[in-house]
Structures are given as C-alpha cells and as structure tokens.
Amino acid sequence: MLPIGFFLFGLVSAGVVPLFPLTRYHDFPDFEQYLIDVANSNPSFVQLRDIGRTHEGRRLLGLKIGKPGVNKPVVWIDGGNHAREWPAFHTAIYFIEQFVTRYGQSDRITDYIDKLDIYVFPVLNPDGFVFSRTDTKDLIRQWRKNRAPKNCSGFHSLTVRNVCCEGVDLNRNWDFAFKQTNYPFNNPCSDEFQGPFPFSEPETRAVRDYVTSRELSGRIHAFFSMHTHGQLWILPYNDHRKHHPKDYADLERLAFRAAEALYQYRETKYKIGTAADMLGPATGGATDWIKANTNTKYVYVLELPPDLSSWFAFQVRPHWLLPIAKETWLAVKVILEQTLEDHNLARA
C-alpha cells in the first residue's frame, strides 16, 4: 500500500513548506530558516544553495527548484539587494510557496519544475536588511546599502570633506559603466555609493561568480530581480538614455505581455522601459552587467508597488504584501511560459 499522500488520483504529492504568513514582515532569520526547511522537506526537487558570505558573515542563501535533469534552461528570481525594500523579499517567498506546494497538483507548475531549473534568492543583502529592521528612525529604516566598513572619503558639500560613512549600494557595484567621477555614485555618504571599485563587495562577487559558474554558465534564459518601488518594469541598459541592447524589442514585447497579465489581478499599471529613459541614468547595475556579459535573453528589474507618487513607498502596510505577490506571480508565469516556448518545451 502506498503511503498516504504519496499519490492521489494519479497526481504526485505536493511539496511541503513551513508557515510564513504574508500578513506581517519577517526578520532575516525567518527567511534563512524557511529556505533550509523547504529544501530539507522536498529533497526530490528542491536544493539549498549557499553562494557566499556577507561582510558580517551572513549566508547568501537561495533555492534551486527543479527535478533532476541535464542542461535545463534556468530562470533566476531574486528579491533584490536594497535593505529597505522588504516587500520584494517577501514576494520571493510567495513564489517559492507556489512552486513547491503546487508541484504535482497543477499541470503548469509541474511542467515548470520538470522542464526548468528555477533559482530563487529572496535576500541578497542580509546585513543591510537586518540593520534596517533595528529601528524605526529614517536613517536606519530607510537604509539601502550593505554594511561595508566606513569609507572616509565622503563629502557633504564642496567644503565638508573626508566624512566617514558606511555601506555600498550593491546595485551600483557591478562592472558596468562604473566610473569614479559620477556623482552621487562616487560619494560614500550617498545612498547610491557604487563602492571604491567594481565588485568590491562580497555580495556582488558572490552573485557574479555563481551566475558564471559551471552550474549556471550559459543556462540562464531569464533573470528577474525585484525591488521597490515605482511600478516600473525596467529593461537594460541604464547607464545613459537610449542605450538599448540589440534585442530590446523582444524584451519589451515580453514585458508588455507580462505587465498585461499582472494588470488583470487588480489593475496595477506598470511603466515599461529603461530606468535611464524613465528616471535618469544609473551605472553599475546588476541586470545591466548580466545582460552585457552573459547570454541571458530576458533581463528585468521590477519595481513593485506603490507607484512613485506614494509617500510611504518603503513602508507598505503588511496587508498589501499578499496582493502584490499574487499579481506579480501572474507576470512571472508569463516569463516561465516564454522560456519553455523558446526551448521548444511548451506543451502543444
């Protein structure tokens, strides 16, 4: 007799995840334990990935979700790397829950996991995240950077020099149009300090080394990084205006389809384009480097709700976490479907 729950009406049993309610914000140890528990509870199709350490020694953890296979296409999803952007981290957990608990129950989810390898890294800046949770004062709650040691080449004006400030913006630290003379990216006291040199930070080196490792090199077809806020669907490149990759039209076309799917949930509207074209140039971006230095086809940054007019941008009330996650999930599925189609893996 088969164990209860192993097979039910011809379906493989669903995976198991621990409780992680999206009715409140969680601390970093909750994320860490969740990833460990999901991997331990679902060894047939989930594996824990530990890709490096932060300045303060925390692990950069994620999950590989996929049935064993050779050279399967890869979709990468991360919750971003800015400390204060808590909703993005929690949205990534919702995706893990959908993949794991619906495997064997939903034909589409089962298809994704059987035919693709999906890597989900909810928090790529745990030091900054932990720091941002320690106080409600704006200087701490709104912390954006990692926790790199003090750099005393900072400045507050033309006359106030040699100011010591901590942290590097991890999404300005990649070796893409990196330039030490660009203000404010060259000021250690700026939220967007790019660091003293490209890949100066252990967090960015860890992600770079992993996406170019033997495990992943040449296999990532879509790279999807979530941030907050603005309701912006950001395409490469972002170092200056009107700088687009040759296949920009393909990326734009898929982005419009995914945004349309997302809109169906509660009519959330996204603007689509490069950040340079919509907001202004920014150098050293992770997704720009990925697009320029790997063969990854679809590379996006998604700035989750609320829109740019909202004053409470990084303090979304917890009751919005689930709606944001649910609508974004609809967009992710469009990207997964496109990946299957591009590799002739889609169902007829």
Q: Catalytic residue numbers?
A: 303
Question: Edge-to-edge, what's the strand order for the sheet holding 271-274?
Answer: 46-53, 59-65, 117-121, 74-78, 220-230, 298-307, 232-235, 271-274
CA-to-CA separations, 205 to 88, 212, 225, in angstroms, rounded:
21, 11, 17
Q: Provide the angle, in degrees to the nearest 10, between the axes of the packed helices 321-342 and 107-115.
A: 60
CA–CA dist 125, 162 (Å, integer)? 26
Residue 232 burial (10 A CB sphere; 0-12, 13-18, 19+):
buried
| 11, 14, 15, 18 alpha-carbon torsion, rounded to 10° | -170
Q: Could you tell me the two tokens for 52?
A: 């490096």
What letter represents residue 177's amino acid? A
